[in-house]
Amino acid sequence: MKTKEEIFQAILKNKNTECHELEQGTAFAPSNIALCKYWGKRNQALNLPVTSSLSISLGNYGTTTKLKISNVNQHEIILNNKLVAQSSEFHQRIITFLNLIPMRSSHFRVDTTSNIPISAGFASSASGFAALVMALNDLFKWHLSPREMSILARLGSGSASRSIWQGFVEWHRGERKDGMDSYGEPISQTWPELCLGTHLINADIKNISSREAMQHTIETSPFYKEWPAVCSKDLENLKQAIADKNFDLLGQTAESNALAMHAMMLTAHPSILYSVPETLEAILNIWKLRQNGISLYFTQDAGPNLILIFLKEVTDVVKEYFPTLRIISPFEG
């Protein structure tokens, strides 16, 4: 079993793939931000990662998807109330994914709403593919387990495997060639005082996708060979920090993991730089606040924006320095 089609067939064996045109499937999936990043695939076709990773979901920030059979003779994709052009990459990616469903004879109408900036490094594809799989499960009443949904979502976008749950989620790298042991698993610990803040610097679509950037890093950065060991140590520290509610260990580890990912990209040939001057300005401000005794950390995905990590008790100070911050309490709804 080595292709996406075969994985879909195995998971959806004996499942119904027809429904009445009046039926609708609906689902919400949160966006997630990795504290230990997924950066590099050992199998590109199946989105199998080189390392395990760990994320935190963004509560109410994410994607809601409504799915039904289209009554026009083609797929219709609606994103934030606008019909998406068939020629766009967004449309193609979703249709390619839907075409993996075995024995499907109809066209879909996918109505998706996202309350996070698309492709600006806030992991919108993660919540998008997770919500799509959950909406399919709802529409066809497949009764898939969260683990099975995580595997299917991973085939759309690697990090989507973690967006099936709220809270902390570990995506196990797995060992198998078919990736049936590469899925997300929630970590039961909650942390109500933990806050995240989205510091939006630029919501424009990035000029190199994370998919391309990670492959380019593997192929050309001389430091990539160090990455699996870095991640394995970071993952261990993060799990310890979560278990002990050791905030500084969590923040330091997440920040240094993100910086290591961006450092590898800088050492790729040619270099990839997602940061803009405002990103560095914000990072220097975070470090200055830390020198002044405020426990504030950040993580950065494949984009110029930052996610700030802090405890509720310092919210007022953080807001003073980052007045436009959108604050998320992942464990408080």
Q: Where do contacts with ligand PMV occur on this chain (CB under 6 A)?
A: 34, 37-38, 53, 123, 125-126, 157-159, 210-211, 301-302
Q: Of 62 and 158, which CB lies nearer to ligand PMV in the complex structure?
A: 158
CA–CA gap between residue 108 and residue 68 (Å, rounded): 6
3-state secondary structure string, the chain?
A: CCCHHHHHHHHCCCCCCCCCCCCCEEEEEEEEEEEECCCCEEECCCCEECCCEEEEEEEEEEEEEEEEECCCCCCEEEECCEECCCCCHHHHHHHHHHCCCCCCCCCEEEEEEECCCCCCCCCHHHHHHHHHHHHHHHHHCCCCCHHHHHHHHHHHCHHHHHCCCCCEEEECCCCCCCCCCCCEEECCCCCCCEEEEEECCCCCCCCCCHHHHHHHHHHHCCCHHHHHHHHHHHHHHHHHHHHHCCHHHHHHHHHHHHHHHHHHHHCCCCCCCCCCHHHHHHHHHHHHHHHCCCCEEEECCCCCCEEEEEEHHHHHHHHHHCCCCEEECCCCC
Crossing angle of helices 124-140 and 89-98, in 10° steps, is: 40
Please state the closest distance from residue 302 (CB atom) to ligand PMV, in A.
4
Minimum CB separation of residue 109 from ligand PMV in Å reads 25
Based on CB atoms, which residue is closest to ligand PMV, 65 or 119?
119
Q: Rounded to the nearest whole angstrom, what is the least distance from the CB of residue 320 to ligand PMV in the complex? A: 29
Closer residue to ligand PMV, CB minimum distance, 122 or 142: 122
Minimum Å distance from CB 258 to ligand PMV? 9
Calpha distance 143→123 (Å, rounded)? 26
Distance CA 319, CA 325 (A): 7
User: Which is closer to ligand PMV, CB of 211 or CB of 245?
Assistant: 211
Q: Which is nearer to ligand PMV, 53 or 114 (CB)?
A: 53
Least distance (Å) from ligand PMV to the CB of residue 126? 6
Q: Are 234 and 257 in contact (CB under 8 A)?
A: yes
If the CB atoms of residues 200 and 318 are measured against ligand PMV, the closer one turns out to be 200
Of 69 and 158, the one with the shorter C-beta distance to ligand PMV is 158
> Which residue lies nearer to ligand PMV by CB, 65 or 217?
217
Least distance (Å) from ligand PMV to the CB of residue 84? 18
